[in-house]
Amino acid sequence: MRDVAKLAGVSHQTVSRVINEHPNVRAETRERVLAAMRSLNYRRNLAARTLATRESHTLGIVGFETTLFGPESMLYGIESAARAAGYLVSVATVRELSHRPVLEAVDRLVQHGVDGIIAIAPKPAVTTALTHAPGGMACVAVGGDGGQPGFPTVRVDNAAGARLATRHLLDLGHPTVHHVAGPLDWPEAQARVDGWRDTLYAAGAVVPPVTAGWWDAAAGYEQGRRLAEDPSVTAVFCANDRIALGVLRAMHESGRCVPDDVSVVGFDDMPDSGYFLPPLTTIHQDFAELGRRALALLLRNLGLPDGDAPEDVVVAPRLIPRISAVPPRR
């Protein structure tokens, strides 16, 4: 910077003003400085700027180290929105959704001087850990289902999605709908159970017992085999598309045809779920949008004084009808 100043025949402060687009610089001076910057191939040193302003223009993301479809799509949504706002994103992942690891991840991000943190928080432990973040650090949780009240959160309306799915199957004429849930200690899984159960109640339908497991096809397969043995099962709502894939295979192996014998609905709308056998009717979640909303919320809270102005953003899911769900055969 000193070199640029010397070459342009001005003080370093004027160079700084040019960089920061300060209005009170004569046009001719600005040109001279810009030319000097170009000819010296100058790039401002962000570390020095950070030291002086205490703003790093970097945002932290606490991610969950596993290949679940959602979190990854959100990362892209967050990153591209952050880029547009002039921020870079740094990622710290946790192997386990519990207090300690999350605090460590937050600590790493804080040490590196991020201006704010967005945490993938499918379980409440993440949010509570976040409340213990060093004072004044702006945080936003994304995911879960309504977690810590008073904490800024962005999430999908899981119960509404479940209602959509269940209602769809009921409307097709199924007497009731079975549900293969995700891990019940995940609020998202629980909210889907609630939405499903409420819809059945409201319709006066029998509420079958819930079976739960992990979010993957193996779990869906295992529980699908059990459901397949019960001839009264004609409609199954799965907590996500991967589970649905397992159920599809279980039904097939048990000789029950989908959708002729059993209708299946998933949740997530993964990229290729339209190519399952048969193409899966499912509930779409726009993860990229979720990421963008989370970023917008964080940026807003960043600008605010220190006072909390938390806010919850809830994004509505929507039904994607394909052909794995049809009216029951009589």
Partner DNA sequence: TTCTGGAGTGTTACCGTTCTCATCGCGGTC
Partner DNA sequence: GACCGCGATGAGAACGGTAACACTCCAGAA
Under the binding rule (CB under 7 A), the answer on residue 26 touching DNA is yes
User: Is residue 224 a contact partner of residue 249, using CB atoms and an 8 Å limit?
Assistant: yes
Alpha-carbon gap, residue 81 to 65, rounded angstroms: 22
User: Which one among 6, 44, 57, 226 touches DNA, defined by CB under 7 A?
Assistant: 44
What torsion, rounded to 10 degrees, do the Cα atoms 220, 221, 223, 224 define? 100
Question: Which among DNA, a copy of itself, none contacts residue 29 (Cβ within 5 to 8 A by kind)?
Answer: DNA
User: Which one among 161, 246, 266, 291 touches a copy of itself, defined by CB under 8 A?
Assistant: 246
Under the binding rule (CB under 7 A), the answer on residue 23 touching DNA is yes
* The two three-digit tokens of residue 329, written as one number: 């055969």
User: Which one among 30, 32, 252, 300 touches a copy of itself, defined by CB under 8 A?
Assistant: 252
* The two three-digit tokens of residue 119, written as one number: 């945490």
Question: Which among DNA, a copy of itself, none contacts residue 276 (Cβ within 5 to 8 A by kind)?
Answer: a copy of itself
Under the binding rule (CB under 8 A), the answer on residue 132 touching a copy of itself is no
CB of 2 or CB of 330, closer to DNA: 2
User: Which one among 7, 34, 40, 49 touches DNA, defined by CB under 7 A?
Assistant: 49
Q: Checking DSSP bridges between strand 282-284 and strand 318-320, what pairing results, if any?
A: antiparallel
Alpha-carbon gap, residue 245 to 266, rounded angstroms: 9
Under the binding rule (CB under 7 A), the answer on residue 14 touching DNA is yes
Q: How far is the CB of 281 from a copy of itself (least distance, A)?
A: 15
Alpha-carbon gap, residue 145 to 290, rounded angstroms: 13
Residues in the chain: 330
CB of 29 or CB of 90, closer to DNA: 29
User: Is residue 158 a contact partner of residue 314, using CB atoms and an 8 Å limit?
Assistant: no
Under the binding rule (CB under 7 A), the answer on residue 40 touching DNA is no
Q: How far is the CB of 24 from a copy of itself (least distance, A)?
A: 25
Question: Which among DNA, a copy of itself, none contacts residue 194 (Cβ within 5 to 8 A by kind)?
Answer: none
How does DSSP assign 27-80, residue by residue?
HHHHHHHHHHHHHHT----HHHHHHHHS---EEEEEEESS--HHHHHHHHHHHH
Q: How far is the CB of 288 from a copy of itself (least distance, A)?
A: 10
What torsion, rounded to 10 degrees, do the Cα atoms 97, 99, 104, 107 define? 110
Q: How far is the CB of 82 from a copy of itself (least distance, A)?
A: 9
* The two three-digit tokens of residue 158, written as one number: 């899981």
Residues that bind DNA (CB under 7 A): 1-2, 9-14, 16-17, 19-20, 23-26, 29, 42-45, 48-49, 51-54
